[in-house]
Structure formats: C-alpha cells, structure tokens
Structure 1
C-alpha cells in the first residue's frame, strides 16, 4: 500500500464535514477564540468593513488585492449576484485617491474566482463566466483598479487560463494565478512570462492527486523557485505570493541577476499573516500587496483553508497567540 502523502491532512474529512454543518458553524462562530482568529484573517462580512481595512493598509504604504469570498456558484442568479457585488466593490475602490488609470503599478486590485462567476454552470458555464469577468474588467479599467483571476483545483486550470488569454486581448493588464505544486506550472510560467503578463505565483493549497501535483513539501518548494526563476527572467510582472522566508530571501538575488526595477515585481501576502514582515519589506521600498478577503461566506472558506493541509491548521492555531 502506498504511504500517505506528507501533505495529506488526516483531519480533512472532519473539518470539511464541519464546514457543511450549520450547528457546528453556530458553535464555532460564537466561540471568542474563533472570532478573534477569523477577525484577524478576514476583513469583515460587509464591503464597507473591507474598504475601511483597505484604507488602513494603503496608509501603511502597501497595496491591496481584495476578494469577495465565494466559489462554486451553481445557478445563474448566484453568478449575477457575485458580479453585482464586484461591480459595487470596484466602484467603491475607484473613489479612493490611490485608484489610478494608466501605465504603472496599480495599488488597488480585486481578485475573483471564475467558479463564483458561473464557470461550473451546467449550461455554458465558461461563456457565462467570461462575460461576467469581462464586465468586471471593463468597470475596473475605468476605475483604475487591476483584476487578477484566482486559481482553483486542477480540473479548472485549462478553462481558467483559456479565459484569461481571451480577456487579455482587451485587458492586457489582467493577472492570473499559477500554483507551483502542479507539475504543469513550469510550462505555464513560460507561456505567461511575456510582455505585460502579470502572474501571481503561489504554492497551492487544494488537495490534488499525485498524477498532477507534487506531494512532497521539498518538491513543491523547489518547483516554486524554478517557476519564479522563469517569471523573473521573462518580461512580465511576477507577483511573489509567499510567506516562506526562504522564498522571500531568494527574490533579491533573482532581481539583481535579471536587472529588474523595484516596480517590476511585487511581494504578496495574506491579510493578517506576517504583518511585521510585510511592513519591513514595504519600508525597504519593495512593492507589497496584501490579499484581503471579505464576505458572509468566510466560514466555509476558512474551514476549507484549514482542511487543505496540516501546515495550514498548525499555522492558524499558532497565530492565535502571536501577531507575526
């Protein structure tokens, strides 16, 4: 029998069952420790709370990418509601003084999942998703806000990247996310390392089969550095989405070797994680963007993040007692 993956989480079934249970949700959301933890990692349930959080981050010299939580929309009405919320969010961000139309790094960005916009709908889901995403991109262009399309599990990768390619014909600044634990990602990085391309490189957190994803932590880390090397050597705009000190330390030598300007790449970290390190990098005049999630669907989102890997669960539990 094959040994279990080093990244497998034995608590995953229980955590995912808890994510679907309304009674467990009530118990967990009312617990003071849980609320404290969620408040640290999710910027509230309302758009107003999220925008206020964005203002504070911007004042510190960091940029933002804000995500309205939700995925796997199964009906057209849900996809429409998701798009409508993003349009309101983009409009709100467009009123901030940091909104900027034109060339250069935009400090304001929204991140969206195509599955939330209808990608998985039984009747022509990809068409619905691309049209909804196109509407959001058009509004973002006017408002001076970037858009990045998030990655999901590997079954959506081909469809997602095809939609990104199609949208970039009209919105060349559109960003995409690639996950280094997928075996295909080095090739995808080569495809998306051209002029104007913006790629957020992360390690990946979904549970994937060995046939498509590296299972060993060291292999995932090594793949990340290979992918980052490809992106840094290209002519696009790499977005280094990692809290790993080893990855952060590897960036400066790559920048020096490739001759990139400080405005030619950025670091990205999650809201509430390694805040001290985020501020340190920003104070060194590095581009730092904070990924800020909000919305009523924080509970299933939060529980799925804990279920994905044991390291996530350990990290979030440690974070209850430390701010960095």
Structure 2
C-alpha cells in the first residue's frame, strides 16, 4: 500500500490545505486529468466521447457530507438535470452486452444523510426521487460507498430502495472487514454490486491495512459476486483481480454481458480501450463539479503513480 496514503488522506480532511490547493492557478490543469470539468456541459461532452469509443459511463456530481438542506435539494436538482441530459446521448452498440450504458453514482451524504434529525429519511426520499427519474430515462443509479461510519446505514437504505428499484447498484469496499458479508447480502437476483478496494482512511479495527490483505479480501469478495445471482461490477485497475474476474467468468459461464469492468476517468486509458476492443463491458467512472478536492486526494492516495504525476506537474508548472 502507498506509504504516503495516511498523510494524503489526512490532507483530504484539512480545510486549510483544501483552500490552499484549490486556489493555485496551476491546479486546474492537473485536475483535468481526473475530473471531467466543473460544469454539466463539460461533463456531457466527455461522456459523449467515452460512449462513442464503446465504453459505458457512471457519472458522479462531486460533493459529500452535506449539512444544509438547501444544498441537498440543489444536489438533487443537478442530478435530475444530469439524468435528463445523459438519457439523450447516443448509446453505443455493444454486442452481447445488455447493461444500460449510462449511469449516475450518488453519495447519500450529498443527498442529506448527515442532516441533523431526519437526515437518513431525507436522503432515502431523495434517492427515491432520483431512481424514479432514472427509471423513466433508462439510466441506472448506483449508491457510492463512503467512510465506514456510514456503511451500515447506506446498506440498509439500498436494500430498502431495492424493493421498488431492484436494479439499484450498491458499492462494497473490499478493505472493510465486513465486505464479504456485505457482498452476500447485497448480491441477490437482479442486483448490481460494484466491488472496489476502498478509498478512505479507516482504522485497523474495521479495515485491512496491508495491500496484500486488501487484495486477498477483494478476491474473496469477487468470488462471492461472480458465483452469485447478481451482476458484478469489477472496479479496479489492479491486474490481479482483473485477470481473476476473467477466469471466474469463464468458470461460471458468464458471457460478455454477465459482468463489467469499471475504471476511473483519467486512469489506465490504454487498458480501458483494450478491454472494450476485446468485447468486454467497460464502464468509466466520470466525476465532475467544483467540489473536486476530496476526490482528487483520494485518487492520489490510491496509487503512487497518480501522486508522481501530480508532483511532476507541480514542478513543471512552477
């Protein structure tokens, strides 16, 4: 695991450092690698290009930990507009793949989960509003995972919402000790589960700390999902689980439409294109918006190569 990960994730929580970094003129050019723009119009152009290349998209309007009802309402409004515009995009012809090519990813904390008093109920109601609009527009929705303090509430909200929207996607972070159990509870018939390694700073009491332990947990979770009745979404750039997913697909008889690979916008573009060209379902997680600081720092913490790119860009632009 990246030895600088704890330092970088601590920086993600620092308002002072956030103000300093976001105020640097040179930062914008660096952010463009990982974020599709600050406006919906910029995002739509990126999504159109990705769809045109035979890849699918999952779009995240950046923002989290909302403690203001008006901000939660504004987030819902933005997502409703986003869903409408995504639904109008030309969709790629993907032989053997029946997955919906356009999806939005939402964080319950951005929908009001942390509001005092009735926050969880507000977030659940807002999620239902988005799912209803998405169903009419033939757009999928997945609920992003956040830090471990929200995991139980998020899983409960997703399971409740699936009574009406069984296609609602859930996200499991493999570094959590509870990940394998969550995969089993969330992966029933018609379900969709995105499996990622995990991007937050978590204590040893709830999460594996060593990279090898996280990878082992990912592989155990992957086997649960690939042998289960749902639709696995394999969200990683690590070649070990990518190869394992392909092997499990062959063993379980899953065709090209039986699961999908997911990768981040701006990371391993070459691998994304190769997988898509081979007829494999590939979805790119595409964030946009002005609240990019937390997202960017988590990307830097995940992979040393990302941090190297960031530091090199800082030097070259100084």
With the length of structure 1 as denominator, give the TM-score of the two structures. 0.90
Alignment match of 1:317 (pick from 308, 312, 316): 308
| Structure 1 residues 98 and 19, CA gap change in structure 2 (3 angstroms) | farther
Unaligned runs of 5+ in 1: none
Does the CA-based 8 Å contact 1:45-1:296 persist in structure 2? yes
Instruction: Give per-residue Cα distances to partners, 1:185-218, cap 9 Å, x unaligned.
Output: 1111111221111000000010111111001110
Instruction: Give per-residue Cα distances to partners, 1:215-246, cap 9 Å, x unaligned.
Output: 11100000000000000000100000000011
Q: Does 1:40 align with 2:33?
A: yes
Q: Distance in 2 between matches of 1:152 and 1:93?
A: 24
Instruction: Give per-residue Cα distances to partners, 1:20-73, cap 9 Å, x unaligned.
Output: 55344312xx01xx3322111100000010011000000000000000000000
Equivalent residue for 2:108? 114
Does the CA-based 8 Å contact 1:176-1:198 persist in structure 2? yes
Equivalent residue for 1:22? 19
SS in 1 for 2:262: strand
Unaligned runs of 5+ in 2: 314-318
Alignment match of 2:152 (pick from 151, 158, 181): 158
Equivalent residue for 2:127? 133
Equivalent residue for 1:70? 63
Equivalent residue for 2:316? none
With the length of structure 2 as denominator, give the TM-score of the two structures. 0.91
Cα offset, 1:284, TM superposition: 0.3
Q: Distance in 1 between matches of 2:258 and 2:86?
A: 23
| Matched length | 310
Alignment match of 1:145 (pick from 125, 130, 139): 139
| Structure 1 residues 97 and 303, CA gap change in structure 2 (3 angstroms) | same
Q: Distance in 2 between matches of 1:139 and 1:15?
A: 33
| Structure 1 residues 241 and 258, CA gap change in structure 2 (3 angstroms) | same
Does the CA-based 8 Å contact 2:11-2:297 persist in structure 1? no
Cα offset, 1:75, TM superposition: 1.3
Instruction: Give per-residue Cα distances to partners, 1:152-200, cap 9 Å, x unaligned.
Output: 0011011101110111111111001000000001111111221111000
Equivalent residue for 1:267? 261
Q: Distance in 1 between matches of 2:270 and 2:16?
A: 31
